[in-house]
Structure 1
Amino acid sequence: MLEVAFRRDFPGLSLDVAFRAPVGVTALFGPSGCGKTTTINAIAGLMRPDAGRIALDGRVLFGDGIDLPPQARRIGYVFQDARLFPHMTVAANLRYPSRWRRGAARDFDRIVEMLALGPLLKRRPATLSGGERQRTAIGRALLSDPALLVMDEPLAALDEARKAEIMPWLERLRDEIRLPILYVSHSVPEVLRLATTVVLMQRGRVCHAGPLAGILADAALAPQLGAREAGALIRGRVEATEPDGMIRVATAAGPILLPGPLPAGRELRLRILAHEVILSRAVPSGLSALNVLPVTVARIDGGLVQLVAGDERMLAQITPRSVKALELRPGTACHAIVKSVSVLPG
């Protein structure tokens, strides 16, 4: 667990940041200039706060009279540009941070396999694609034996094809490396695909920090990620394949049918956007929509209706006229007709 609480005043920006980052990907999200990169630089020891405390797994990095230098903080840093040594091969770049560390050879083989760097080991950075350079930079950061991995918009300098190339490796990193990962981004698709926790920032302040699914399903917070991003992010498991080829997915919101094929037992992340949900007070019939979930209204914020579906939260985007016509208010029981469900990679 990373615990952060510090202040730093700059001309034109007063940074006052506090949040916690557990194992998994914590995305620092907000517009350019809101203090995201400055925040991770303070955590990494590249910028000194005026006051506060930063601790990693209970070990104080800054505060209480302590200010550890960057090399003593055990933080692997991946920059926007890979910053590889151009005169070294990929293998030499990877080995550089671990050349005196016991067990480094064993870790080297594991990281090379995980990031599929084997075919690149004898090449130099100038001969690599952007995605290959970033994979090498991630491998080098992991071989420094970090307790925390920091990534400052690692896909920002890549074109769409290279982003698509490296994204599966970032997902594998999230799922297999049991570390807190701080991921700076202002890209909503990246956050949706990678993050488990989100820290929303505006003008040097943390507006909210918490699980991604909770933010997406919150009528007040979801619009900060984008006007059309509000909705539910639900985890499910494939139960069975129906006779017609549809798969039945068990979720905490209720069973959901999706086009197959997918194997039984497969874990899925399902995305249900608010504008893909219709509400009905009565049990609907005669519909082409396959997924109808019993829900209860929790909150109404304009045309965004926050719903409780089993143990999950959802949003429906309807007009204020519809809210009035359906006589919706907190506690109202109704049915959510889900027009479409997308399956997120990872």
Structure 2
Amino acid sequence: MTLIVDVEDRRGAFSLNAQFTAEAGVTALFGRSGSGKTTLMRMIAGLDRPARGHIQLDGETLLDTERGRCVPVHKRRFGYVFQEPRLFPHLSVARNLDYGAWFQRGRSGRGTRKTILDLLGIEHLLNRQPATLSGGEKQRVAIGRALLSSPRLLLMDEPLAALDEARKQEILPYIERLRDEMGIPIVYVSHSVAEVARLADRVVVVDQGRIAAIGPAADILSRAEIAVAHDRREAGALLEGVVRAYDGKQGLATVGFGSAELLVPGIDFEIGKPVRLHVPARDVMLATRPPEGISALNIVAGDIRAITRGPDGMLDVDLACGDAHLVARITALSGERLSLAPGQSVFAILKTVALQR
């Protein structure tokens, strides 16, 4: 799947001029609120039309303003999941899902109704009314309705924004299963580093209506300049590794990243399974000598690649730890006391509980 987007528009004081390409997997449109992410999404869906633009999916032109071509929303065959579930309140869950299936009209989908119900864990909700569902359940039904329309592309516009933290953690595994098991390409809008780190293969950074950066999630989310431009509190490193061992008694998995290893808490690890870890920069300490007599389980040797000073006086220290990449956020005073400099060998100390799967 290849989605090509080239659009330009102006709405009051806000101007949009964005060009990017999305491939198979999950492409995240990432940026602060008001940066233009949802506007881009609505243009891809055909809900809004830019002053100038060209949008193409797998060689089919969906929008070409110069030639006056604009494929209607219902003919683009895209599934759209909004921030709010937008279920029909007078219809049961089953009939809400039937509404999505009605658009399929004989087309072969990526999964049967039973497959989708099992994937999202909503079969037991079929006879319920939307008013009786939790926020997470409503959103899972909304995703199911979109999938049953047999879309060739799924657009998800901050689908977790209206949920509290507990409901977010409830629904994230279902979106991961959707990504891994359905094989449907997804464009996912978010301003949350944690969501993007967990779900995205590719990140398109949107800043004030412009594309600031494009690349693999692990590369983009580890860049100090991206953290400065967005929320530095969430900045860190995204690691992609494989489970090498699991200690059920201690509830700890050994995750390998090339020559480096980390211990990660959890109860559902499978040996040999790929995993992603988001390591917040604020939870990484540095030492110039091997530390002793501390409770931290993860101590990794590395070399300083770069040091970036933020507007708040903090330092982001970029580390190469074997095949892994980490970022540590420390005070400028700590950097001075340790005499840190690029090329210097140090030890990164990670609290095991700080690792986010």
SS of 1:344 mapped into structure 2: coil
Distance 1:243 1:38 in 2: 47
2:59 matches 1:52: no
Distance 2:170 2:283 in 1: 29
Partner of 2:325: 313
User: 1:255-276 deviations in whole A, cap 9, x for unaligned?
Assistant: 2234576553343322322233
Cross-structure match for 2:312: none
Letter in 1 for 2:73: P
Match of residue 129, structure 1, among 109, 125, 134 = 134
Tell whether 2:94 aligns with 1:91.
yes
Q: Deviations over 1:162-181 (max 9, x none)?
A: 43433322222122221221
CA deviation profile, 1:196-247 (whole Å, cap 9, x unmatched): 3333222212222223322332222123342222221212222235798454
Instruction: Say which of 275, 284, 293 aligns to 1:277.
Output: 284
Deviation, structure 1 residue 77: 0.7
Q: Deviations over 1:19-56 (max 9, x none)?
A: 23233333323333221211101000111122232222
Deviation digits for residues 40-83 of structure 1 (CA, Å, limit 9, x no counterpart): 01000111122232222333222373321111212101122222
Q: Does 1:144 align with 2:154?
A: no
Question: Aligned in 2, Cα 1:152/1:243: closer, same or farther, shift over 3 Å?
Answer: closer
Would the alpha carbon gap of residues 295 and 72 (structure 1) be closer, same or farther in structure 2, given more than 3 Å must change?
A: same
User: What is the root-mean-square deviation of aligned Cα atoms in Å?
Assistant: 2.9
Shift in alpha-carbon separation, 1:159–1:218, aligned structure 2, 3 A: closer
Shift, 1:104, TM fit: 6.1
- Match of residue 3 from structure 1: 4
Q: Choose which of 232, 240, 243 in structure 2 pairs with 1:238.
A: 243
Offset at residue 253 of structure 1 (A): 5.6
Would the aligned equivalents of 2:244 and 2:253 in 1 still touch at CA under 8 Å? yes
Change (3 A) 1:230 1:127: closer
- SS in structure 2 at match of 1:146: coil
- Other-structure match for 1:36: 37
Partner of 1:153: 158
TM-score, reference length from structure 1: 0.87
- In structure 1, what is the equivalent of residue 84 of structure 2? 81
Counterparts in 2 of 1:225 and 1:93: CA distance versus 1, 3 Å:
same
**How many aligned positions are there?**
345
Note the 1:110-129 alignment, pairs <5 A.
Answer: 110-129=115-134
* Cα distance change of structure 1 residues 244 and 130 upon mapping to structure 2, 3 Å threshold: closer
- Change in Cα spacing, 1:206 to 1:260, as seen in structure 2 (3 Å) is closer
- Pick one of 249, 269, 272 that aligns with 2:255: 249
* Counterpart contact for 1:270–1:341, Cα < 8 Å: no
When residues 260 and 204 of structure 1 are mapped into structure 2, their CA distance, relative to the original with a 3 A threshold, is closer
Q: Which moved more, 1:66-75 or 1:245-254?
A: 245-254
- Contact between 2:86 and 2:142, CA under 8 Å: does it hold in 1? yes
Is the Cα–Cα contact under 8 Å of residues 270 and 342 in structure 1 kept in the other structure? no
Post-superposition Cα deviations, 1:141-190, rounded to whole Å, max 9, x if no partner, equal 11111121111222333344443433322222122221221222334443
**Residue 182 (structure 2) aligns with:** 177
Q: SS at the partner of 1:93?
A: helix
- Please say if residues 100 and 147 of structure 2, whose CA atoms lie closer than 8 Å, have aligned partners that are also in contact: no
* Aligned-partner residue type, residue 87 of structure 2: L
Contact 2:280 2:355 in 1 (8 A): no
Task: Say whether 1:71 aligns with 2:74.
Answer: yes
Residue matched to 1:186: 191
Q: Does structure 2 retain, via aligned residues, the 8 Å contact 1:269–1:343?
A: no
Cα distance in 2, alignment partners of residues 275 and 128 from structure 1: 37
Q: Which residue is 1:13 aligned to?
A: 14
Task: Please state how far the C-alpha of 1:308 moved relative to its aligned partner.
Answer: 1.7
Instruction: Please tell me whether the aligned partners of residues 107 and 150 of structure 2 are also in contact (alpha carbons under 8 angstroms).
Output: no
Q: Confirm or deny: 8 A CA contact 1:272 1:341 kept in the other structure.
A: no
* Distance change (3 Å), C-alpha of 1:240 and 1:163: closer
For 1:334, the aligned partner's letter is V
- Amino acid paired to 2:320: V
Please tell me whether the aligned partners of residues 268 and 344 of structure 1 are also in contact (alpha carbons under 8 angstroms): no
In the TM superposition, what are the counterparts of 1:95-106 in structure 2 within 5 Å? Answer: 95-99=98-102, 100-103=105-108
TM-score (structure 2 length as normaliser): 0.84
How far did 1:327 drift? 4.4
* Residue type of the alignment partner of 2:173: P
1:221 is paired with a residue of what secondary structure? helix
Q: Is the 8 A contact 2:265 2:353 kept in 1?
A: no
Percent identity between the aligned chains? 48
Equivalent runs, 1:264-343 vs 2, <5 Å: 264-284=271-291, 287-302=294-309, 303-340=315-352, 342-343=354-355
Partner-residue secondary structure (3-state), 2:233: coil
